[in-house]
Structure 1
């Protein structure tokens, strides 16, 4: 289905909940964990954007009461003491089922253990309040294909959130809660962050454990975090990554790579000016621009769908044989497309990846970070397979993946930060070449300051 891309709808009256401001209010005694969690539960219970899969209200309220009593005694479990957190329903939370957005797992038993990333948040004092919407089995970048129906963008409920961490991005963007966990195999934290107007961090591959996370493609899967702003995302990363942030790295002298090949250009004409504005802001702060060419990029990214498709089919082959009708039709079709593919296809794709990632690394060897658009399109109408932009049809799914998936293949850390654009949100992506997660967050923070 092709639709003309309508004019942006003015954002709804929503205000995201700042993680750092909420922490300060709790620490100062102006807000108790019980009050904070009660507000979050009320908002999630009344959510109009289909972000919530399971609301763990009774346990969350009881835990918040305990955190309130501890705070009154001066006992602080960690930097997230009393903070409400949502978890993508691909990640195990003890006592709750992990349904992965699918009827295939309609009757799955509750998880017996927290995934390690959830356990780290709890150890820092967080209160898990809900499991949040995901595209079925995380297989897709739109967020509108799931057993529970589409998640809806808080800026325009007729549009997609992006996926697959759809509920995590939308719940944060709607101001329901200050922090959420997501996963990212090809774009699934950064794309919904960009389309919903929040910050989304994909750490380096292997930086966070994926135990207790239902896989899409194990050789590409990452766990990430979404928050309203960079400071909140950086705090979440410090907790999840297990170390305090390094001193902020200065922007003066930063070598910013600008990708000049046609491949990296957005389709929506509203996006590119904000990427240019981000580069100019960093230059004004003392950075210098280094043009980068990536002649290997088309061949490299062609390996991505072959790796994901083959690994995902291997995971789901039995369920596809036994209960195919429980899959969403679009996801079933994509998975079955890999049913009879020869093994050499997957092996060759992984060999291509191993051969070309070093070539990509060599092409960007002279830069510290890359700055580019997060997506080629802004949020599109729910259900639209393609949209018309400047008189030409643009396929939605590739446009949401194309600028993200290369950095799952490389495993480099990347963060999407919202530009102060009018109308529908636009994300700018910062990719770490010689900067780690804290480093890309420092650059994102510099952009936030410049854009205030």
Structure 2
């Protein structure tokens, strides 16, 4: 069967696209690489045909790709992303929307949409992606996968096309906790701040209330089973606005020079976001940067050595016509880890109706490996 062009930009038959460079702990694993990562001999397409046409052929692998290959994994192919990773729905105006194998008729979630669908469909065992505002955690929740957003800067982003460097992280998805953790053994440094042996878990009614009733119930059950204690943690009213303003300013700083005069190459939704990004003034960007820095310090102080349990996304995977209705609530949830620069693991849970959702564990900075181990124990 030919590869689905909504899911894959490059996937040779028979594969792989790139064989392992040596044997290792990931022997037998196959990786769907988001189309933002450099793969030797290929171009970075960033979900946009005009960008792809002008992109140079890469001479070296991105750091994360090279590490996975050196650990025994093979690159199955290059999987789709939304344009410049600036969206959360999974829809790409040029190539279509990758399907959601776990919730047919519903969106896949983005912007790591192609790798997520490839993993959910069994066409790869690992999805290598990026998470700026939830782009690993949201598709993980929508498709019943495990997803990891590391501490900001823990995994080098060398060879990865940026969107907003203050928030960009290299992340990954898998169908099971063991594979997710083995990838972490390859990509993550040793924990600077391991979680306590008996970590305290906390949850917040205010954060749970951002989710739809079915997701709130599923994540609430997970939190109760994990022994999470209720705390008073409500999102600050201006938290998301500061995140989005700084993200927009950085996105335009990174891509504005190329996009100036090329807005017609973008799909409507992403074009609108970049037009708003163009309009962010220097004073507004600096005010947002100050607000984000203050909020990061407050989030880290409030969390301490505890682990916060909250929904990975505010709803199950919506139907296409409903996608924008849940965006704000989802980003209010995902921006907690994004602004905090904190590691976050999305653990698959199911609603009473049998649809996939995600419970997210957010830990202190530098606790990535022990957070992955905790997530595995809680779900196992």
Could you tell me the TM-score, scaled by structure 2's length?
0.92
Q: CA deviation at 1:306?
A: 0.2
Q: CA deviation at 1:274?
A: 1.6
Q: CA deviation at 1:400?
A: 2.9
Secondary structure at the counterpart of residue 376 of structure 1:
coil
Length, aligned pairs only: 378
CA deviations 1:351-405 (Å, max 9, x no partner) are 011122222223223x52011111111111124344xxxxxxxx23223322111
CA deviations 1:127-160 (Å, max 9, x no partner) are 1120011111100111113421111111234211
Q: Which residue number corresponds to residue 347 of structure 2?
A: 417
From the superposition, tell whether residues 351 and 264 of structure 1 become closer, same or farther in structure 2 (CA, over 3 Å): farther
- Does 2:281 correspond to 1:330? no
Equivalent in 338, 344, 351 of residue 290 of structure 2: 351
User: 1:384-395 maps to which residues of 2 (within 5 A)?
Assistant: 384-386=322-324, 395=325
Q: Which residue number corresponds to residue 8 of structure 2?
A: 52
What is the alpha-carbon distance in structure 2 between the residues aligned to residue 174 and residue 404 of structure 1? 25
Secondary structure at the counterpart of residue 277 of structure 2:
coil
Q: Which residue number corresponds to residue 258 of structure 1?
A: 203
Q: CA deviation at 1:248?
A: 9.9
CA deviations 1:34-77 (Å, max 9, x no partner) are xxxxxxxx6xx344x8211111446627837xx8xxxxxxxx62
Q: CA deviation at 1:437?
A: 1.2
Equivalent in 271, 287, 291 of residue 230 of structure 2: 291
Q: Which residue number corresponds to residue 316 of structure 2?
A: 378
From the superposition, tell whether residues 382 and 363 of structure 1 become closer, same or farther in structure 2 (CA, over 3 Å): same
Q: Which residue number corresponds to residue 339 of structure 1?
A: 278
Could you tell me the TM-score, scaled by structure 1's length?
0.78
Q: Which residue number corresponds to residue 92 of structure 1?
A: 38
Q: CA deviation at 1:317?
A: 1.7
Q: Contact conserved, 1:296 with 1:356, CA < 8 A, in 2?
A: no
Structure of higher CA gyration radius? 1
CA deviations 1:80-120 (Å, max 9, x no partner) are 12422110011111111110111231312321110000010
**C-alpha root-mean-square deviation of aligned residues, in Å?**
2.5
Gaps of 5+ in 1: 1-41, 68-75, 284-288, 387-394
Q: Which runs of 4+ in 1 moved over 4 A?
A: 246-250
CA deviations 1:298-333 (Å, max 9, x no partner) are 222221110111111122222332322111121111
Q: Which residue number corresponds to residue 327 of structure 2?
A: 397
Secondary structure at the counterpart of residue 200 of structure 1:
strand
Q: Which residue number corresponds to residue 119 of structure 1?
A: 66
From the superposition, tell whether residues 46 and 317 of structure 1 become closer, same or farther in structure 2 (CA, over 3 Å): closer
Q: Contact conserved, 2:343 with 2:365, CA < 8 A, in 1?
A: no
Q: Which residue number corresponds to residue 447 of structure 1?
A: 378
Q: Which residue number corresponds to residue 202 of structure 1?
A: 149
Secondary structure at the counterpart of residue 278 of structure 2:
coil
User: 1:216-365 maps to which residues of 2 (within 5 A)?
Assistant: 216-241=163-188, 250=197, 253-261=198-206, 263-283=207-227, 289-294=228-233, 297-365=236-304
From the superposition, tell whether residues 336 and 142 of structure 1 become closer, same or farther in structure 2 (CA, over 3 Å): same
